Structure formats: structure tokens, C-alpha cells
Amino acid sequence: MQLEFLGTGAGSPGKFRNVTSTALRLLDERNEVWLFDVGEGTQHQILRTTLKPRKITKIFITHLHGDHIFGLPGFLSSRSFQGGDEPLTIYGPKGIRDFVMTAMRVSGTRLSYPLRFEELSGDGVIFKDATFKVSCQHLEHRIEAFGYRVEEAAHPGELQADKLKALNIPSGPLYGQLKAGQTVTLPDGRTLNGQDFLGAPQAGRIVTILGDTRQTPNAVSLAQHADVLVHESTFGKDEGKLAHNYYHSTSTQAAQVAKKAGVHQLLLTHISARYTGKLSKELQKQAQQVFPNTKVVRDFDLIDVPIQK
């Protein structure tokens, strides 16, 4: 599991930061990539990575401001020309379907794959299968906005090979069957239940990705014990009033969310164009005074989300 940042700027594209888009790479887990927001030029950013558009199967939109959705029509169209025939589902606030379908209709665009929409009406679980669960909650912005929490299912416990060796059971295909929890019968007639040789299940990873928001309890709720929290940082610590008036957050407010929620790592994005070079590092230092494990991310940063041992 990895996070790849395709755009980390706020409002409009800049020389060093494109507008918002984040890819959650789940290639090892399910051979898929999920996008969170698709700002203008996202498909150009993808060309500078190893991401394949056909692997992108889900898109989660936090809110309908242009710097988070203007890249959608172009990306969806290009995916048809790049081998994309698998269905794609877009999750987002009411109005996302109308925006996309209007762009498709006016431009005469036909897609080579089924396009599905899940317009969000409230907080709760919006996707769940055997490997992942995604839930959303409202944030506080000038228009309806959501944050997303991605939870991986628990991993099976590790095979306790020492126990097997103590029973004089040689390694081989049998170990694979036992690791899968199966019951097997040995040539000497003994029966072994794989569950008896597995360690405790290992908790899956949690990634929380928030869109634009000012301080709200829902941000802390979404981020509870997350391995990684992706939080906007449009303003510096001394601009709290400005952040509140524009429904955004400061670097230290984001750090306070991370601290209250007990997350492992905080990644700051949605950086205003006035914070370039050393000034963006200042945002990082401000946040680190509250929550030390903080990083201001840049376009094309690739962050691993390891399983916590």
C-alpha cells in the first residue's frame, strides 16, 4: 500500500505544485489504484508516474470545487484510449454525476467502460468487501464536503513454523495449506488444524484522506488511530482567523487533529502558492511542534504505508 501525490497545491496550479489529487496504490493488495480528487491536469501528472489509468477503478471526490474536479472529464475520456475497459465508480457529493455527464454529453464523449456513480447522502460506510472498507463523514467547508477513511481487513496470523518443526513436520506444500487455515491429514495418520499453528491476526492498515475543511470533530473521528492522515494545510499557524473565514485549516490545526486521533503519520497537502521552498518547510516545522511525525508532501512524493508490527 502506497500513497502517491499527483497534486499538492491549493486553488490553482502553480509551477511547483499542481492542484489536488492523491492516488492510493493498492497494487499488491488488489491490483487496483484509487484516486482521491482529480484536479485539473491530473492526467498529465499521471504520465510522469508508473500509474496505469486502467488500474484506477474508484475515484473519491471530497467536494465539488474546481481545483478538486476539473481534471475528471479529461481523465475519464483518456482512460478509454489507454486500455481501460474495467468499470469505474465515482463516489462524491450530490452533483458529481451531473457535472461529469454534462461534460460527456456536451463534448460528445463516449466511454469504452461502464461508469458508475455513488452520490453520498450522509455519513457511514460507502464500500465494503473482503479486503477493504471505506467510510465517509461530512467535513466543514463552504460547500458540502466529505473526508474518507479506508480500512484494510485484518491479515491472517503468521505461520508458527517452530511448532511444526517440533512435531517433526518438514517444510513443504503442507505449510502453505496450514497457513491457509486448512485441516490436513499427515501420511502417518495425524490430523492438524491449521488454525492451531497461526499467530494472532494482524490489524490491517488505516488511511484517512480529508478534503478542504476547517476544524470539526468529524476530522478526528475519521482519523482515529490511522496509520496515515492526509490533511490540508492551506494556512500557517498565525492565520487561524483567515483559515476559519475561508473554511480551511492551518498547519497546527491539522497537527492537533493528528494528535487527538492518535495517528501514526501526518501528511500535509493542499499548500497555498504563497508557501514555496523554505516557506513550505516552515509549515512543516510549525506542525511538528504539535505532532512530530509530520511531513509536507510535494507532487510525486511516494509514501509507503507499512503494516505496523
Q: What's the CA gap between 59 and 37, in Å, rounded?
A: 7
N- to C-terminal Cα separation, the chain: 15
In this predicted model, which residue has the larger pLDDT, 188 or 128? 128
The answer for 168, left when phi > 0, alpha when psi is -120 to 50, beta otherwise, is left
CA-nearest of 173, 172, 192, 190 to 182 is 192
Chain centroid to CA 221: how far? 16
Looking at residue 41, the DSSP 8-state letter turns out to be T
Tell me the torsion sign for CA atoms 106, 107, 110, 115: negative
pLDDT value for 143: 97
Average pLDDT over residues 79-86: 85
pLDDT digits (tens, 9 = 90+) for 149-181: 999 999 877 888 888 888 888 777 888 888 877
Tell me the torsion sign for CA atoms 83, 88, 92, 93: positive
The residues spanned by each domain of the chain are 2-155+205-304, 161-197
144 falls in which pLDDT band (50, 70, 90)? very high
Residue 68 DSSP SS3: helix
pLDDT beyond 90 at 188: no
Q: Is 188 a catalytic residue?
A: no
Annotated binding residues for Zn(2+), written as ranges, equal 63, 65, 67-68, 141, 212, 270
Average pLDDT over residues 141-149: 97
CA-nearest of 254, 265, 262 to 293 is 265
Q: What's phi and psi for 65, nearest 5 deg?
A: -70, 150
- CA of 217: how far to CAs of 139, 233, 250, 256, 307, in Å? 9, 17, 15, 11, 27
Say what the pTM is. 0.90
Average pLDDT over residues 215-239: 96
Strand partners, 152: 132
Residue type, 140: E
> Which of 67, 162, 196, 238 does the annotation list as catalytic?
67
Share of the chain above pLDDT 70, in %: 100
Task: Count other Cβ atoms within 10 Å, centred on residue 45.
Answer: 22
Residue type, 190: R
pLDDT value for 45: 98
Annotated binding residues, written as ranges, equal 63, 65, 67-68, 141, 212, 270
| CATH 3.60.15.10 is the classification of domain 2-155+205-304 | yes
pLDDT beyond 80 at 309: no
Residue type, 156: P
Q: What's the CA gap between 163 and 184, in Å, rounded?
A: 15
pLDDT digits (tens, 9 = 90+) for 8-67: 999 999 888 999 999 999 999 999 999 999 999 999 999 999 999 999 999 999 999 999
